[in-house]
Structure 1
Amino acid sequence: MNERQSDTLRVERLCVNTAHGAPILRDISFAIRAGETVCLVGESGSGKSVTSLATLGLLPKDALNVVSGRILLDGEDVLRVGNGRLKALRGSRMAMIFQEPMTALNPVLTVGRQIDEVLRTHTDLSVLQRRAQVIDALAQVHLPDIERIHDAYPHQLSGGQRQRIMIAMALVLEPRLLIADEPTTALDVTTQQQILKLIRELQQKHGTAVLFITHDMGVVVDIADRVCVMRQGHLVESGTVRQVLSQPREDYTKALLAAVPGLTPRPARPQALRAQMVLDVIELGKTYPAAGGALRWFRQQREGTRALHDVSFSLRRGRTLGIVGESGSGKSTMARCVMRLLAPTQGAVRVTGKDISELSAAGLKPHRKRIQMIFQDPNRSLNPRMNIGKSLVEGPMNHGVPFAQAWARGQELLELVGLPADAIYRYPHQFSGGQRQRIAIARALAMEPDVIVADEAVSALDVSVQAQVLQLLGDIQLSMGVAILFITHDLRVAAQLCDDVLVMRHGQVVEYGPAAEVLVRPQQAYTQQLMDAVPGKGWDFAAGGRS
């Protein structure tokens, strides 16, 4: 059998244009053998997802057209089969794991019913046979309490459990090809490690060919056999992991690798003890009341869910404190309590000396400008119906700044974050993801805050844009003296940005201290567990080899 015949997937000189004729993909060629994992890497807009959607026959026909080329699945060209055959191939011969399972899963159907739908569509199995196969699929992805999860709805499960369900659904028919599009981007390091291990385990069991799309070079080290680097619709470099990561030929690949943050914390900055204490959190707690409604009156009082318990830390002007931990550790709840988007049930939150934890809405208003938030997804936090200018001036005007002054300041801030002043007239959809995050930073700065709370502000960005945004935050902090509370699940990012690190688990502080101490010589087993789970931990991207 020759090499071409042994390939599960072979993409040959694939070209895709927009409906207006603009090229999106140009001469893309690569192959994947059974049991092999090929990673597609590159910046946002490089064509990675378009390549995967073309393979599945899911390109929007009114927007993108395949101009030329072939996509061979076990020798059959999926670009030249009818809709009926293509539908049969999806699920039975090729399947996909999407980046955001909460979006991909149907919120009104139980997990079991959604996996059962795949079997109903592609097999003639009886109801009992299908149920047995669904239960087996859930067992293969190591989910606990399978009967409960079978009957649960997506919103009742954690992010890691939802991603396992997506994997079970994709692999229930043992497809020859599995496409995974950024399946671990939003997951914390330990859950990510589990998902990568699970994909590899199931791949080896079933001999599946895997096309894995990611911007995380650490994930590439852990899961890939070969790597294809894409840029602006072109395949610029490909080879084994060692070839591409150790001896990259192209300057673009070298730049991507140089942008990967290291795990060694940056040199410690001297702490100015006289610097103003801008945020002081004292024994902060948050308990959600138990459900029960009217019936609660007739029942014994039940203790609610404790999301935060006695969290304390402080932050001085010009410093960055990183908050790290797994999903469900209480990081975002803590951030929302600090911002007073949630009312804490105990403790104090002092912003420049004033306790805002129990202030009324009216009492909070003058203090809101002192502490501002940058959310994870600027595409959702920016109003799509408002141009950038209106988003930038809304806050200052609510605090009495005249329109003309706020507008001029907005243009200055856009230039500060690396965008042209005339971008103020454009709308969010006219910017890239990295540009939108810069706008979100400008909006936070428009209030001239003492503290910025950044909640996973760079987790969805590719490595080069992430590096730019981190550099921007560092430069702004240096020039303006703002304090940053930086929430992240990426310990590489924490190492490069943060002066101090606080580790959370189950709503409590596990470890707290200088980044150089916590990340290099952790005192707690849980912190060490987080460090060990960092993807590609043993690879030195700067040196191009194992560390």
Structure 2
Amino acid sequence: MLFKTRNFDGAPVALQARNLTVSLPETPGNPQVLKGIDVTIRQGETVCLVGESGSGKSVTSLAIMGLLPQALKVATGSITLQGQDLLPLSQAQMRQLRAARVAMIFQEPMTALNPVLRVGDQIMEVMELHTDLPVAERRARARAIMEQVHLPDVDRIFRSYPHQLSGGQRQRIMIAMALVLEPVLLIADEPTTALDVTTQKQILSLIDELQQKHGTAVLFITHDMGVVAEIADTVYVMKHGEIVEHGPIETLLRQPRAEYTRKLLSAVPSLSPRAARAVADNTVLRVESLNKIYGGGGILKKLPQAHAAKDVTFTLPRGRTLGIVGESGSGKSTVARCIMRLIDPTSGRIMLDGTDIADLSRRALRPHRQKLQVVFQDPMRSLNPRWTIAESLIEGPLNYGTPRREALAEAARLMGVVGLPQDALARYPHQFSGGQRQRIAIARAVMMRPDVLVADEAVSALDVSVQAQVLDLLDQLQRDLGIAIVFITHDLRVAAQICDEVIVMQRGAVVEHGPADRVLSTPAHSYTRALIDAAPGRFWDFHNFRELPKVNHAEPA
């Protein structure tokens, strides 16, 4: 069955928000961030709250948790948990309620976990703050919940620090901390956005499994409609602080009423690859037998080696896009960083316009760097927060001898190309949305007039509608300028929409390589088939609001 069809009529109400309004009282006019929203979640139900960035999803969750920033105030309405009104509670009372009765999983566990405490101690700390259990029982319950979230080698992980775990393991620790006291309500705020598809599938299955076991109500906040199709019982769609539509998942996906809902659904990239483009013979980048090995050194004892890239070989013509896909740790970003010479390859050749740049010194490499540009996942970290946008854009050209006036004129022109006003040049990165910052990062890369653009998870953190706009922008720039693109992603839907060829990597090795329409439609390798079958919402056509034929790639035909 494609959708959950559980009936919660008559089930006890876990959480209810009524006429909830949140405003900015210190701002003239008291603008409202939330505008009288109503949300009901029953025991055992999964409610998905969806919408673009700025729609009010996270503000809603923070209001429920009593964690609103000081600048925001609840103006009207009520929030009740099992009939208890939360708004009149003091901060001390809310601290007692958090984790014990309502818990939260955040998007980035590395920032939510304490980096200097072992993860087992952090789970025990939750019980120490909210129970009178003796140490031995706290330890036993911590180990038990770690086993329930399917962590391997519990003894080792219990003693580990967050940085010693993978992203999926850290997220499982967050889930364990949230559920160890069996709260009434679990709030999950984009908990799978940064995870690859197979890890995401495991985390979603885990939340569903634990929900069934404990009867927990779940408020799941996401912009990924594929995830919504997999897990939701009921969906609330938010826009500009208002609920524009809500209803059972099947009704909402088959017969969306609001134009905004239809827009969100139609922006979801299709898993069907785009039509293949003609193959050009003007190769701009050739990678031959690229290897990268980490470790192997050590003063007192030899450390184990990690073969992050194993004999990676491909060619990339001008005007074409090569996608590199795989799970976290598969070697995608290692290959990208070797191409960019941000790290040195162990062996192999990287031929850029006929020149092998793999072994060039920093000085010899400098004339070639402008031909290779990169767009990272998080533009807020790659843009200097103290520089105006103009200063960020012209830095590269100035370093290569372009007169300042000419560089500023080109920066102003590119603002129009990427869909931003020229007056944006005088502003700073924090004054833009995530999608706008990514457009600025693309403009900065294009300022250098590169031959090859490396996009490393460049759209993975964006809303589907903003993601679609950025993908369209890259496609337009490629057609106008003939740029070759190496596109690193764990999202197969995105790869299907933008890539001409696809490389599938697993544990540093290329397991499949070919035209995108062939690799993603009729995968030959079992690992590729597993990636495709892990894609959320793969059996739903979001553009035409209908079910797709169920084809399981897990076994070859």
Partner of 2:402: 401
SS in 1 for 2:348: strand
Give the Cα separation in 1 of the matches to 2:188 and 2:305.
38
Match of 2:553 in 1: none
Give the corresponding residue for 2:92. 84
Q: What CA distance in whole angstroms lies between the structure 2 residues aligned with 1:137 and 1:490? A: 30
Q: Secondary structure at the match of 1:25?
A: strand
Write the deviation string for residues 144-181 of structure 1: whole angstroms up to 9, x where unpaired.
00010000000000000000000000000000000000
Q: Return the alpha-carbon distance in structure 2 between the equivalents of residues 77 and 484 of structure 1.
A: 54
| Deviation at residue 487 of structure 1 after TM alignment | 0.4
* Equivalent-residue separation in structure 2 for 1:452 and 1:517 (angstroms): 24
Partner of 2:5: none
Aligned to 2:288: 282
- Structure 1: how far apart are the matches of 2:89 and 2:274? 54
Partner of residue 49 from structure 1, selected from 58, 66, 78: 58
Taking the aligned partners of 1:81 and 1:266, their CA distance within structure 2 comes to 54
Offset at residue 304 of structure 1 (A): 1.9
1:16 aligns with 2:17: no
- C-alpha distance 406-198 of structure 1, shift in aligned 2 (>3 A): same
Is residue 27 of structure 2 the alignment partner of residue 26 of structure 1? no
1:438 CA displacement: 0.1
Q: Distance in 2 between matches of 1:86 and 1:5?
A: 25
Q: Which residue of 1 aligns with 2:174?
A: 166
2:381 alignment partner in structure 1: 380
Displacement after TM superposition at 1:242 (Å): 1.0
Segment of structure 1 superposing worse, 337-346 or 401-410: 401-410
Preserved contact between residue 5 and residue 75 of structure 1 (Cα < 8 Å): no
Aligned equivalent of 1:308: 309
1:36 matched to 2:45: yes
Deviation at 1:542, TM superposition (A): 1.6
Say which SS state the counterpart of residue 168 (structure 2) adopts. helix
Do the aligned partners of residues 360 and 222 (structure 1) sit closer, same or farther apart at CA in structure 2, a change above 3 Å counting? Answer: same
Whole-angstrom distance in 2 between the partners of 1:279 and 1:158: 32
Q: CA deviation at 1:402?
A: 1.1
Cα separation, 1, equivalents of 2:51 and 2:304: 49
Shift of 1:289: 2.1
**AA in 2 matched with 1:272:** A
SS in 1 for 2:98: helix
By how many angstroms is 1:449 displaced?
Answer: 0.1
Distance 1:220 1:364, change over 3 A: same
Contact 1:5–1:74 at 8 Å: present in 2 too? no
Specify the SS of the correspondent of 1:531. Answer: helix
Change (3 A) 1:479 1:492: same
- Flag the 1:25–1:303 CA change in 2: closer, same or farther, 3 A: closer
Give 2:451's aligned residue: 450
Q: Which position in structure 1 is the counterpart of 2:506?
A: 505
Q: Distance in 2 between matches of 1:178 and 1:269?
A: 46
1:519 to partner: Cα distance: 0.1
1:420 corresponding residue in structure 2? 421
> What number of residue pairs does the alignment pair up?
538
Q: Give 1:62-73 correspondences, 5 Å limit.
A: 63-73=71-81
In 1, distance between residues paired with 2:503 and 2:277? 17
For 1:134, the equivalent position in structure 2 comes to 142
CA displacement 1:239-280 (0-9 Å, x = unmatched): 01111111011111111111001000011111223xx21110
Pair 302,430 (structure 1): closer, same or farther in 2 beyond 3 Å: closer
- TM-superposition CA deviations, 1:60-104 (whole Å, max 9, x none): 12x111101111100111111122221111000000000000011
Which residue is equivalent to 1:246? 254
8 Å Cα contact 2:318-2:484 kept in structure 1: yes
Q: Which runs of 5+ in 1 are unaligned?
A: none
Give distance in 2, aligned partners of 1:490 and 1:36: 28
Question: Which residue number in structure 1 is paired with residue 124 of structure 2?
Answer: 116
Q: Distance in 2 between matches of 1:41 and 1:361?
A: 47
Do the aligned partners of 2:11 and 2:42 also contact (CA within 8 Å) in 1? no
- Find the aligned partners of 2:233 and 2:10 in 1 and give their Cα distance: 18
Give 1:278's aligned amino acid. Answer: V
Q: Closer, same or farther in 2 for the Cα pair 1:201/1:5, shift >3 Å?
A: closer
Q: Secondary structure at the match of 1:485?
A: strand
Residue in 1 aligned with 2:189? 181
Question: Any idea what the Cα deviations from partners look like across 1:507-545, whole Å, max 9, x if unmatched?
Answer: 000000000100000000000000000001111112212
Q: Retained in 2: the 8 A contact 1:488–1:494? A: yes
**Aligned AA (2:61):** S
Alignment partner for residue 201 of structure 1, among 199, 209, 220?
209
Partner of 1:225: 233
The Cα shift of 1:421 comes to 1.2
> What is the CA deviation profile of residues 104-158 of structure 1, one whole-angstrom value per residue up to 9, with x for unaligned ones?
1111111011111100000000110100010011001000000100000000000
- What is the identity percentage for the equivalent residue pairs of Structure 1 and Structure 2? 62
Change (3 A) 1:149 1:303: closer
1:337–1:344 Cα contact (<8 Å) kept: yes
The aligned counterpart of 1:264 is 272
